[in-house]
A = this chain, B = another copy of it.
Amino acid sequence: MGLNIVDKQQYLEEREKLIGADRSLRRDRPAVHTRSALETEADEIMHRIRAEEAAGIWKEDHPDVPHPFPGMEFLTGKKIVEKTRTFEILMPKGALLHIHIGATVDARTLLDLALQQPAIHIRVPERLDARNISSVLPELMPLTPEFYNMDGEIVSSNSYVPNTWVNITRAREQFDPSLGGPEGFDRWIIDAMTLRPAEAYGTHNTVTKIWEKFQSTFGVSGGLVHFLPIFKQYLRIFFLTSINDGISYMEPRIDFYFAKALTATDGRSTITHREVLQLFEATVNEVKEELTKEGRGDKFLGARIIYTAFRALEPKDLYYYVDDCIDLKKEFPHIIAGFDLVGNEDELRPLIDYVEPLLYFRERQLQEGVEIPFLFHAGETLGDGDSPDNNLYDALLLGTKRIGHGFSLVKHPKLLQACREQGILLEVCPISNEILRLTSSMPMHPLPIIINNGVSVALSSDGPSVFGNMGLTYDFFQFSMMLPAEKKDALDSWETEWRAFLEFIVARYKGSLPN
């Protein structure tokens, strides 16, 4: 390469060519070359704001954040992020394509919803005290009225009998003052539903250790989210807060791995998967109508469900779920967006274990004339050539349309090429990756490798209520499971929002930045 170059002019020409060839795979290359004057101006302003912040707020030592830097550990640096102008500028984000329903509404709000429900009860396996409060997890569940427990000892009482259910509001109000009283109760519950910096960056500093805590948060919140009266409100809040963050379309993953997913209003009977989908659809329509009345109908283009099952299932038990998914797709073709298997790839079963039911699933879809794209989690691991990493091969061979995470994809030259050529989108969740210890900071994330290889990316939040990363940074519409006509409308609508966003940046900041 370049060995016969003799003069500088020729060198610079060769250099231009080499850089062009190296960058030619990037999907944004044409767009960068044809961008409007407004886009260029807004981009320059954003660069200046970020440079100013890197030299300012990110350089100062903050009393509770020593040695900060842009892209540092999210849970530690979050308070600084929230003070920046970069954060304050609300970008139209399009679609949110990777989020787990059980982690969509912030923990404080979910607890408030629970406190309004007399059915919700709490128990612990041993009496709570100052010594064990940071390790004992609450179990939360709706009970049927005949089991409501409005008296008896609460979880921090000396005479509490382990594993006795107690009404949540009463447990909170009478919570031992030495443990902080009601505020201490709230802190305990919220800590059990979220990850703290001391865990992610200290006691649980590896993928395996932090996943244990991550998994446990779903156990705690699940007892609340799965109660129908809470779930209705929860869905509304998820939609509305996302919309207010500039997201206009969502495809949450809903775990149907408990054959009976939700508990009905009386805490007694369970509701069917059909009823879950009806509720979801009704809530989408309700929110759409409200926004239309407010003249903001264009801010919400709808939502679909990605049907998921759990990677701990016996392969033979997956047949039930794939059949169930087909039945639901036939009845709600506009609601079911795709199918996935979820759970810690490093510890649970690899995709190859499920190849028989998954091939059966595909065959049955052909017979039934329905199409349910695979949208598999794969490669959410630091490994190379081990079984979680090998999930990438199986996801591709099974014809996945998108890959959840695909963190280890960058280790596979052939698979990067396949994703690029087949237009397979990567749902990349940078903050999730950092907190779950796949990367230690944003500058170390492999995202640029993926982009430079021409693979499409949708940035996603994964489990925002657990990670504290409510909202999004950016997304693309074109890989959502929207119908073609919907996509066109969505893109038109996004273009309008995008222009307004650029105009806002220029109008607001032009002239206010130092030269």
Contacts and interface: CB of A to CB of B under 8 A. Distances in A.
A369 interface: no
Contact of A448 (B352, B411, B444, B449): B411
A18 interface: yes
A397 B444 contact: no
A411 B5 contact: no
A205 B415 contact: no
Interface in A339-367: 352, 355-356, 359, 363
A203 interface: yes
Interface string A64-96: 001101001000000000000000000000000
A2 B397 contact: yes
Contact of A418 (B1, B3, B69, B359): B1
A397 B8 contact: no
Interface residues of A, number: 62
A130 to B, nearest CB: 22
A452 B384 contact: yes
Contacts of A415: 22
A21 to B, nearest CB: 5
Contacts of A3: 399
Nearest to A204: B67
A396 interface: yes
Interface stretch (A236-244, A252-260, A433-441): A433-441
Interface string A364-400: 0000000000000000001011000010011011110
A205 B440 CA distance: 12
A382 to B, nearest CB: 4
Contact of A67 (B1, B72, B205, B398): B205
B449 A438 contact: no
B397 A355 contact: no
A7 interface: yes
A394 B441 CA distance: 28
Nearest to A67: B205
A382 B1 contact: no
B397 A18 contact: yes
Contacts of A412: 22, 452
A453 interface: yes
A23 B415 CA distance: 10
A69 B18 contact: no
Contacts of A270: none
B449 A444 contact: no
Given A393-B18, A411-B448, A11 B359 contact: yes
Contacts of A205: 67, 69, 72
Nearest to A208: B69
B6 A399 contact: no
Contacts of A411: 448-449, 452
Given A8-B356, A444-B439, A67 B22 contact: no
B397 A14 contact: yes
A410 interface: yes
A448 B15 contact: no
A161 interface: no
A422 B1 CA distance: 8
A18 B67 contact: no
A206 interface: yes
A202 interface: yes
Interface in A1-50: 1-3, 5-8, 11, 14-15, 18-19, 21-25
20 contacts: A1-B422, A2-B399, A5-B359, A5-B397, A6-B359, A8-B355, A11-B397, A18-B414, A19-B390, A22-B393, A24-B414, A25-B413, A67-B206, A69-B206, A72-B205, A411-B448, A411-B452, A440-B440, A440-B441, A444-B444
| In the complex, the 10 A-B pairs of residues with the closest C-beta atoms, listed nearest first | A440-B440, A2-B397, A22-B414, A384-B448, A382-B443, A3-B399, A69-B206, A411-B448, A21-B414, A67-B205
